[in-house]
Amino acid sequence: MPKGAGWRITLIVAFIALSCIYLIPTLAPNLPAWWKGILPKDKISLGLDLQGGTHLVMEVDTQKAVEGTLDLVATDLEDTLAEKNLRFKRVSRTGSDKVSVVLYEKDTATQVQKLLKDKYRDYTINDSVEEGGMIGVQLRMNEQDMQDRKDKAVAQALETIRNRIDQFGVSEPVITRQGVDQIVIQLPGIKDPQRAIELIGRTARLEFKMVEDGISPTGGAIPEDAEVLNEKFVDKTTGAVTETPLVVKKKALITGDLLTDAQVRIDSQFNQPYVGIEFNALGARLFDQVTAANVNKRFAIVLDNTIYSAPVIRERISGGSAQISGNFTEKTASDLAIVLRAGALPAPVKIIQNVTVGASLGKDSIDKGLMAGAIGVALVIVFMAIYYKLAGMVANIGMVLNILYLMGALSALGATLTLPGIAAIVLLVGMAVDSNVIIFERIREELRIGKSPKSALDAGYDKAFLTIMDSHVTGLITAAVLFQFGTGPVKGFAVSLSLGIIINLFTALTASKTIFDLFLHKGRVKKMSI
């Protein structure tokens, strides 16, 4: 055996064995229980273009995120002024970038300006302006903070959507940011696309507000600090939806940001599903205070400006637990629990593109991709065998190993195979023999000047080494850039390409060289078939 060939042969055989083991779950999905217990069970997942599914492009209304931040500032400022006994008529968001405070006295305005400068240092405080005989002070968000809030809103929306999809159970989803305010979502193999779309796009802003029972929602004068919302009822027999208007306080006493968990539970008395929620320490304390101060009053549970239930608080509720009931089915209760656990979207989103890829189209893509790959492999094998004779067959063996190792690596990593990924594999078929072509031409040059087959072989590999390394490193850099900045299918192409390049280095410089060494190590071969 040639010197150093032992460890190379061991490595080649070990990689073949590992590739086969990792490929078995993909080739034979129905594995016995003992296999799943101790051996790899992950398989190569198919992308949206190969198994069908849903492709969405969603746009985040980032301006609403800015307005939401200003609303929180207004609420916080209102509480601060009340705590300091500073008289004011109104604190509200005005326009797209301001919070206005309307005051009765000029002395109070001076105190409020000082408070604002200390509490909101990143905001611009405008000079006092007259407003109907009263004093107005404006708190303005600067342009950079607005832009940062919009950027964070998109990033937070992407993470929230990812959490919802993970809990929904979609295998290998693709969720990426596109442009300034768009999010691309690919859901391969989804069986209920409409339900998924509703789940993803739901704002899920949960609020607890007090009901104003003494005010009529129709025909009556609604106070400035109140609003009319509809309480939703669903008839489980007919599916008919009815809505009852209620007057509630605009200010939310507790919000869904204070939740730590939400689970579907079954009411033992009526055998109906409801959503049980758990608050964090701050939420539990606020819930305890609110229920203690409002016994025998109605408490509206509001989700996305719709009242799901408005129960009467019978007694103080401690412990940080509550429930949301509202004529749920198990599916709607489960969806509500998912969005509450994943958190509310920081701003509304709207679907600007919705494309459904059929499973039959995916199967057709797979068949055509496999056909293209098979034709490519066959043509390369024939060409190498004719042009380089027996040496060409060694290159063909390296090419087969290349494909085997690549598929095994994709399976081991649980990678997603897309149509561009198949294109990358077909491209790598050519790359697999391209390195050998460079080596073989160097060997031919050495043979022409009279060197022995063994010396020509060693010299050919040595002289081709830097050229092969240079081309492969360049290819890896390209693949890395594609992976970093590409989306969806482009990333699939980059993954297959980068893995293939690394594997090709091993097969071209180690595997094929080992095969040649086994034939030439005793020096009996007088002429190479190349």
Q: Give domain 63-146's CATH number out of 2.40.30, 1.10.3210, 3.30.70, 3.40.1130.
A: 3.30.70
Structure token pair of residue 284: 């539990």
pLDDT for 31 equals: 75
Question: What is the bridge-based pairing of β-strands 321-324 and 273-279?
Answer: antiparallel
Pick the CATH number of 202-356 from 3.40.50.2000, 3.30.1360.200, 3.40.50.720, 3.40.50.300: 3.30.1360.200
Q: Are strands 259-266 and 254-255 parallel, antiparallel or unpaired?
A: unpaired
Tell me the C-alpha distance between 475 and 1, whole Å: 35
Determine whether 311 is exposed, middle or buried from the number of CB atoms within 10 Å of its CB (0-12, 13-18, 19+): middle
3-state secondary structure at position 59: strand
Is residue 177 within a helix (H) or strand (E), and if so which, with residue range? Answer: strand 174-178
CA atoms within 13 A on the CB side of 195: 14
Q: What is the pLDDT of residue 248?
A: 93
The per-residue b/e assignment along 465-502, b for 16 or more CB within 10 angstroms, e otherwise, is eeebeeebeebeeebeebbeebebbebbbbbbbbbbbb
Report which residue type is found at 328: F
The residues, any chain, with a CB within 8 Å of residue 332's CB and separated by 6 or more, are none
Q: Tell me, what's the pLDDT at 361?
A: 60
Residue 75: the pLDDT is 77
Residue pair 241/234 in contact by the 8 Å Cβ criterion: yes
pLDDT tens over the chain, length 530 residues: 667 678 888 889 999 999 988 888 888 777 777 776 677 777 777 777 777 788 889 999 998 888 888 887 887 788 788 888 888 888 888 878 888 888 888 888 888 888 888 888 888 887 666 656 778 888 888 888 899 989 988 988 888 888 888 777 676 788 888 888 999 888 887 777 787 888 787 777 788 899 998 888 877 788 888 899 998 877 767 767 788 899 998 888 888 878 888 888 888 777 888 888 888 888 888 888 888 888 889 988 888 888 888 888 888 888 888 887 767 778 878 888 887 787 778 888 888 988 877 666 667 777 887 787 788 888 888 988 888 888 888 888 888 898 899 988 888 887 777 778 888 888 888 887 888 888 988 988 888 888 888 888 888 888 888 888 988 899 899 988 988 887 667 777 888 888 889 999 898 888 888 888 887 776 566 777 77
Those residues with Cβ within 8 angstroms of residue 54's Cβ, 6 or more apart along the chain or in another chain: 48, 185, 186, 187, 190, 193, 196, 197, 354, 355, 356, 357
d(CA 408, CA 18): 7
Domain ranges for the chain:
5-19+46-52+359-520, 63-146, 202-356
Q: Which CATH architecture describes the domain 5-19+46-52+359-520? A: Up-down Bundle (1.20)
Per DSSP, the three-state class of 221 is coil
> What is the distance, to the nearest Å, from the Cα of residue 31 to the centroid of all Cα atoms in its chain?
30
Does pTM surpass 0.85? no
Segment (H or E) for 99: strand 98-103
Answer for the pair 481, 469: CB distance below 8 angstroms, yes or no.
no
Q: What crossing angle do the helices spanning 62-83 and 143-168 adopt, rounded to 10°?
A: 110
